[in-house]
Amino acid sequence: MALEITQRGDVILAKDVCSSDGFPEGISVGMFVVDGLLIDAGATKMAEPSGDFWKESKISQVVITHNHDDHAGGCRWIQDNLNIPIYLHPDSIAEAGSVVVHPKYGNEIWGVLQPYTALPMPKTISTASGKYSFETIDSPGHHPCHIALYERNQKWLFTGDLYLGTKMFFCYKDENIKQLLVTLENMLELDFDTVFCAHAGFVENGKLRLQKKLDYLKNLQLQVSELREGGMNDKDITAELFPFDFPFGEVSEGDWSPYNIIRTI
Ligand SMILES: [Zn+2]
């Protein structure tokens, strides 16, 4: 593992690619540092190689957008090595502090998520020098306890896993696309330019890109409801609208699937 670090103004992006035998191409996993505030902490595999980066960038507080393995993996290392607060959605704190058995495929890609102690997410978080202030916004859909961070003066939106790309071909079993649609509509009410995505990195014209994702999902929702009205079940609708071999279905034991989108849209 080797972190790739890029910087735009005061925002530092550190990313790496996590892979396994089942997912040889790997998945890009990123985290951001803004004036000492770490936004997401990567996967467990990235923790050891990220230690120097976290120390050099003088992180003084941590925000986890949601308690998925590829966002919270570094928390235990940070807790053991740096005495700084880690903020998380209040309804995820108990889960974060317990030993949870994760699917094998996830452990192989990300490493085994270790329990950590988190504090409840405040409504706003100011950075170390006071230069930036983030509003923390409930944004369920990808995860029921997902938080986005909005810096109103800079027109920045840190979207965790709300964006990822303008289209979606699969999602996790516990995602709720109907809820994601509401969240995307709420996000688009905000005045922002740049999106900071944990997997796509710096996204220019972020508002336009997020709007494109919303339009794509609304169109998909319309198609699904028409096919349902025509008497088709969700399995058949999935085969009709995603007529390709999905390579990760079996490896992820059904945790990732196009069907999860159709079922919850
Ligand atoms: Zn996620």
What predicted TM-score, i.e. pTM, was given to this entire model? 0.95
Gap from CA of 166 to ligand 1 centroid (Å): 16
Rounded to the nearest whole angstrom, what is the distance from the C-alpha of residue 71 to the centroid of ligand 1?
7
What single DSSP character describes residue 242?
A: S
Q: What is the pLDDT of residue 28?
A: 93
CA of 40 to the centre of ligand 1 (A): 11
Residue 93 CA to ligand 1 centre (angstroms): 16
Q: What single-letter DSSP state applies at residue 62?
A: E
Residue-wise pLDDT tens digits, 207-229: 999 999 999 999 999 999 999 99
For 58, what's the count of Cα atoms within 13 Å in the CB-facing half-sphere? 6
Whole-number Å distance, alpha carbon 229 to ligand 1 midpoint, is 32
Ligand 1 centroid to Cα of residue 51, in Å, is: 22
Exposed, middle or buried by CB within 10 Å (0-12, 13-18, 19+), for 167?
Answer: exposed
pLDDT in tens, 13-46: 999 999 998 888 889 999 999 999 999 999 999 9
- Ligand 1 centroid to residue 230 C-alpha, Å: 33
Give the β-pairing of 156-160 and 147-151: antiparallel
Tell me how far the alpha carbon of residue 199 lies from the centroid of ligand 1, in angstroms. 10
Distance (angstroms) between ligand 1 centre and the Cα of 109 equals 14
CA of 231 to the centre of ligand 1 (A): 33
> Residue 101: what pLDDT?
84
- Where are the chain's structural domains? 4-165+174-206
pLDDT average per 10 residues of sequence, the chain (265 residues): 92 95 88 98 96 97 97 97 97 95 88 97 97 98 98 98 95 95 98 97 97 98 97 96 83 88 97
Q: How far is the CA of 70 from the centre of ligand 1 (A)?
A: 7
Separation of CA 227 and ligand 1 centre (Å): 29
List CB contacts of 250: < 8 A, sequence separation 6 or more: none
* Helix (H) or strand (E) segment spanning residue 249: none
> Candidates 3.60.15.10, 1.10.10.10, 3.40.50.300, 3.40.50.410; correct CATH number of 4-165+174-206?
3.60.15.10
- Say how many Å lie between the CA of residue 250 and the centre of ligand 1: 19
What pLDDT does 1 receive? 67
Q: Positive or negative CA dihedral for 226, 231, 234, 240?
A: negative
CA 159 vs. chain centroid, Å, equals: 7
The pLDDT score that the predictor gives to residue 63 is 98
User: What separation in Å is there between the alpha carbon of 34 and the centre of ligand 1?
Assistant: 21
**pLDDT value, residue 244:** 83
Integer Rg of the chain from CA = 18
CA 233 to chain CA centroid, nearest Å = 30
Q: How far is the CA of 201 from the centre of ligand 1 (A)?
A: 14
Model pLDDT, residue 184: 98
- For residue 224, the CA-to-ligand 1 centroid distance in Å is 24
Task: Quote the ligand 1 centre to 251 CA distance (angstroms).
Answer: 18
> Cα of 68 to ligand 1 centre, how many Å?
5
